[in-house]
Structure 1
Amino acid sequence: MRYGITTMGDALRDFMDKSRMKPRLTEVRIRENWEQIMGKTISRYTEGIQLIDGKLLISTNVAPLKQELSYSKDKIIKLVNDMLGEPVVREVVIR
């Protein structure tokens, strides 16, 4: 007896939404698209990106870049969330 037909894509999305892997996969998506989101120069000098509980942690040792990113936190949140298609990032922390 068939109760309903679900596509493989929908089944995988459902599984990912319910699994603990989703935050890590979201972080990987951000890393993979970082150059597209922020541009080549910023991407080149960004040393690390982590997503922890809605906080996007960005690491760089370049002081002027830290300053620039600090001024652009709202823009970064918007750009990343637009790329993801959902409001995942609530805060940006520059380290």
Structure 2
Amino acid sequence: MLRPRYNTDKSLNSRKADIQPLKESLQALVNAYKLQGKLNEVTIVESWEKIMGRAIALKTQQLYFRDGKLFVRLTSAPLKHELTMAKTKVIELINAEVGVQAIKEVVFL
């Protein structure tokens, strides 16, 4: 008659001490590979319409980043002027969406 084998090894129980939540593991991975900046940029591009509204998103031609600056190419000169006047508010809205100081300056083209 065959008996079932039970592993009485104590090392299996010590593995539970190494278990951490998936969120913490992913955050550690992002930090290790220094990906947080790029993830913030992707978040900003993906939520541009939510942050600025549909009317501005429709007149936005291109978004790109360089050295902590967000460059926004617009198709409307009057809109460009309005947003230039409200630059600090735009920066606050974007950084509030991301949750960190991701952008230091916005340049409207």
| TM norm structure 2 | 0.76
1:46-85 residue CA offsets vs partner (Å, 9 max, x unmatched): 1111222221111113111111111111011100110011
Aligned-pair CA distance for 1:37: 0.5
1:15 is aligned to 2:29: yes
Which residue of structure 2 lines up, in the alignment, with residue 69 of structure 1? 83
Which residue of structure 2 lines up, in the alignment, with residue 88 of structure 1? 102
The alignment-based identity, stated in percent, is 36
CA RMSD of aligned residues (A): 1.7
Aligned-pair CA distance for 1:6: 2.2
The code of the aligned residue for 1:49 comes to L
Which residue of structure 2 lines up, in the alignment, with residue 37 of structure 1? 51
The code of the aligned residue for 2:80 comes to K
1:35-54 residue CA offsets vs partner (Å, 9 max, x unmatched): 11001100111111122222
The code of the aligned residue for 1:75 comes to K
* Residues in 1 aligned to 2:35 and 2:19: alpha-carbon distance in whole angstroms: 25
* Structure of greater Rg: 2
Aligned length: 95
* Residues in 2 aligned to 1:40 and 1:78: alpha-carbon distance in whole angstroms: 18
Runs of 4+ in 1 over 4 A off after TM superposition: 1-4
Unpaired segments ≥5 residues, structure 2: 1-13
Cα contact 2:69–2:105 (8 A) shared by 1: yes
Aligned-pair CA distance for 1:20: 4.2
